[in-house]
A and B are shown apart, each in its own frame.
Chain A
Amino acid sequence: MHSIYNFATGPLCWAAFIIFIGGLLLKFISMVRRARSSEPYIFGYFSPYFGLRSVIAWLIPFVPRNGKLNPVFTVVTFAFHICLLVAPLFLMAHVMLLQEGVGMHWGTLSDATADVMTVIVLVGLAYFAYRRCTDPTAKYVTGPKEWVLLALVAAPFLTGFLAYHQIFDYQVMVVLHILSGEAMLIAIPFTWLSHMLLFPMVRMYQGSEFGGVRHVKDW
């Protein structure tokens, strides 16, 4: 237990975060470079005002027309994404590890709140899976890769839930939890999970063009 736990929470953890952050940085640089060579005119009308206006509009539920057209999806996706980010970042056990490991710390949620948020993430993923089977447009863009990525996102939350409640073998579950969390982080820059970076980039670009050139809203 000691050697695998220390390896997973030590060198592997550092590697996962370096690949995750470094990978996203490289992706950002390569996207900007690509735009500069193939569509340099974007930089002529790039506007932080119109760009941020679009980012913010898309971050408020039911403001974009698309959100109003799909109310169930809007509620699920907002609840899912908020819980996905907040639960692990403010989980007491994670902040404690960070504090004891590198000395950084910030506020935490109660374990009961984080527990409910974890269930919301899992229910959200179940809904996305159901939607990929039933909604024709989602079905059209669903292949094996999509199922693997859904499972990859579900894994750290499911194993975290089981480890927290000490269901099945705790030691196995906690190691699986750490490894699956690291696998998910590593996958982000190289898969469509990178929409965590591409969402603001695309909206900044789209908002600038729609606001500054076409004089219309893009939501």
Chain B
Amino acid sequence: MKKTILLTLLAVAASLLYLLPAFCQEDMRVIEPTAFENPQRPAAVFNHDAHNEKAGIEGDCYLCHHSEGKPDPDNTSEGTPCSDCHAVKAEKGKTGLMQAYHKMCQDCHQAKGKGPIACGECHVRN
């Protein structure tokens, strides 16, 4: 009896463990890089999956997760934190982290004529 309970509990724990990454992926609701030590504004609202579905860019990861230079479908950077390349304090000739986020979102929103562009439209207070 004890063995059955233990096994059941283990099975539940294991399935919960698998749920975790799936839950995280679906639940990405803000862009909140830990690189910023003293953020002045609330984290930018960004529902990853809903955004991509609405924008019609599901599967086009390279558009945002670019590697060096221009977005290239064969050279992408998913899983690499933006701050690995874009330092908080901009290095010479490189885009700083905050500018990188702002530019990535705003340039596309401006080009499409859709989506938030003013500060408080992304940095929403609750």
Contacts and interface: CB of A to CB of B under 8 A. Distances in A.
B123 to A, nearest CB: 9
A5 B125 contact: no
Interface residues of B, number: 19
Interface residues of A, number: 18
B99 A99 contact: yes
A164 B124 CA distance: 10
Interface stretch (A27-35, A49-57, A165-173): A165-173
A96 interface: yes
A165 B121 contact: no
Contacts of B113: 2
A1 interface: yes
B105 to A, nearest CB: 12
- Most A-side CB within 10 Å, residue of B103, B120, B124: B120
Contact of B117 (A2, A96, A165): A2
A163 B102 contact: no
A162 to B, nearest CB: 10
A96 B98 contact: yes
Given A92-B40, A165-B125, A166-B124, A1 B102 contact: no
A66 to B, nearest CB: 39
A98 to B, nearest CB: 12
A70 interface: no
Given A2-B113, A110-B40, A166-B124, A174 B103 contact: no
